[in-house]
Amino acid sequence: MAEPTALAAPETVEETRKSPSAFSRVAKYTVVRLIALILTVIVGVYLTILIANMGGAVDEIRKGQIREGIAMGVSMDPEMKKLPSAERLAIIDEMARLQEKRLGLDRPFILRSFSFLRNALTLDLGFAENLSSDSGSRLVRLIILERLPPTLLLFATSNVFLFFFSVSAALFLSRRYGSFLDRLVIALSPTSAAPAWFYGLFLILFFSAILGLLPFGGMVAAPPPANKLAYALSVLRHMILPSTAMIVSAMFAGVYSWRTFFLIYSSEDYVEMAKAKGLSSGDIERRYVLRPTLPTIVTNFALMVIGLWTGAIILETVFNWPGLGRLFYAAINIYDTPVIVGEAVIYAYLLGITVFLLDFVYVLVDPRVKIGGGERA
């Protein structure tokens, strides 16, 4: 499955080489990398546009809908009923043609796809076909903005917690490797083979259906409490099960892989050396284990943060959480291409920008890394 990690693989972690001028090297590298990323984003967004429009077939569906709607309206109109059928048909054709022209459906799809691409890339997201925000707006921007807070609330809290918990627990375990806790985490790590929604089902079964303690789903009690504090508490209560599901499903494998990662770095010679010098374990951890692993930690954190953007379609469906994931799913189901493309293009931009910035972050956190430090040997 397309994990975006490799896109941000630190290709710049290379041995330092003497180069003519640091500035020209950095400038050249930046320009080349930027162009490559922009091209990648353009191609990715264009492909998404093609797929979301079924290569133009959605236009045919839309034309059919327009014709059907007009024919329906004409057949209901008592004035039209008096006209002979040939004339009526001509009127329907003319109205459908005007409507298609208004929506730009008369132009061939291949041309339209490029104007879609231009609008998407300039973040001119336009209007949704069918969806509207709860406040009644058809602007894709507003629809997306409305769904962003619930997604951020649920996924940011759980993922940020999960991330820092995994890293610190892994650091702790890597010091005590072979202990009972360590072996317990290893033994439990296969539980992460099941996705979060799967644990969600069991949690709902146990805490909502059998015990009746927590709500089955949704974000807030219905009707929503008027009092702000009660509202917040109700949202918190609804968050317990989905965030537990997420944390349980990802925790053990997360801790396991970070632990293994830290262990590999703790067996480096310079760590042994530090130990021999008699440094405190806290110092060793901070200066000799965390420091060289920081690029990887930062990469993972950054990708986790942009991963929040897509939410989790299925977890949101299982828990009826009104986030971006469910918006995406709803949009796909009713062929609402502007919303699909809107969400996809923002994701592509976020990914591209993050990947670009990560290169510079590596330099900041790891002195061994130089930007554009030459080809891999």
The binding site for another protein (CB under 8 A) comprises 1-7, 9, 36, 39-41, 43-45, 47-48, 51-52, 54, 57-58, 177, 186-187, 189-195, 197-198, 201-202, 204-205, 208-210, 216, 260, 263-264, 310, 313-314, 317-318, 328-329, 332-333, 335, 340, 343-344, 347-348, 351-352, 376
Nearer to another protein, 71 or 131 (CB): 131
For another protein, which is the closer residue by CB, 143 or 204? Answer: 204
Closest approach of Cβ 260 to another protein, in Å? 6
What is the smallest separation between the CB atom of 107 and another protein, expressed in angstroms?
Answer: 21
Taking the least distance from each CB to another protein, the nearer of 243 and 310 is 310
CB closer to another protein, 229 vs 377 = 377
Residue 70 vs 331, nearer CB to another protein: 331
CB of residue 177 to another protein, shortest distance in Å? 7
Residue 147, CB-side half-sphere exposure with 13 Å CA sphere: 30
- Work out how close the CB of 366 gets to another protein at its nearest, in angstroms, rounded to a whole number: 18
Least Å from the CB of residue 230 to another protein: 25
Nearer to another protein, 210 or 229 (CB): 210
Residue 152 beta carbon to another protein: minimum distance, rounded to whole angstroms: 18
Residue 22 vs 264, nearer CB to another protein: 264
Q: Shortest distance, CB of residue 136 to another protein, whole angstroms?
A: 26
Please state the three-class secondary structure of the chain as a single string.
CCCHHHHHCCCCCCCCCCCCCHHHHHHHHHHHHHHHHHHHHHHHHHHHHHHHCHHHHHHHHHHHHHHHHHHHHHHHCHHHHCCCHHHHHHHHHHHHHHHHHHCCCCCCHHHHHHHHHHHHHCCCCCECCCCCCCCCCCEHHHHHHHHHHHHHHHHHHHHHHHHHHHHHHHHHHHHCCCCHHHHHHHHHHHHHHCCHHHHHHHHHHHHHHHCCCCCCCCCCCCCCCCCHHHHHHHHHHHHHHHHHHHHHHHHHHHHHHHHHHHHHHHCCHHHHHHHHHCCCHHHHHHHHHHHHHHHHHHHHHHHHHHHHHHCCHHHHHHCCCCCHHHHHHHHHHCCCHHHHHHHHHHHHHHHHHHHHHHHHHHHHHCCCCCCCCCCCC
